[in-house]
Amino acid sequence: MIENIVYAFIVVFSLTLAIIALMAFRRTENIKILLVAVAFILFLVKGFLLSAQLFSDFLTQEQLWIFSGLLDIGILATIFIATLRR
């Protein structure tokens, strides 16, 4: 039960942060902000994936861990690139 609330919060919070970052990018046109927005969108996708898995078992446990791990790698890579760009 508590995991439903946590995953719903992840989805709503990451959507909110992605919208704010995209609005900031539109105003500043700074690529770093766009990369941060991409990271938030990846968080959003991960939240949808985990939430959907709670309500229907469309993935096996191994597939869920693989997709979740790949999304984590994508999130970390975009944040890393955003911090290293000039």
Residues 21-77 pLDDT 10s: 999 999 999 999 999 999 999 999 999 998 888 888 888 889 999 999 999 999 999
Q: What average pLDDT does the segment 13-22 reach?
A: 96
Q: In the prediction, which pLDDT does 1 show?
A: 78
**Long-range contacts, stretch 28-36, CB < 8 angstroms, 24+ apart:** 31/85, 32/82, 32/83, 32/85, 35/78, 35/79, 35/81, 35/82, 35/85, 36/78, 36/79, 36/82
pLDDT at 85 (0 to 100): 78
Domain boundaries, the chain: 2-84
pTM of the model: 0.87
Q: Check residue 57 and give its pLDDT.
A: 83
pLDDT the model gives residue 17: 96
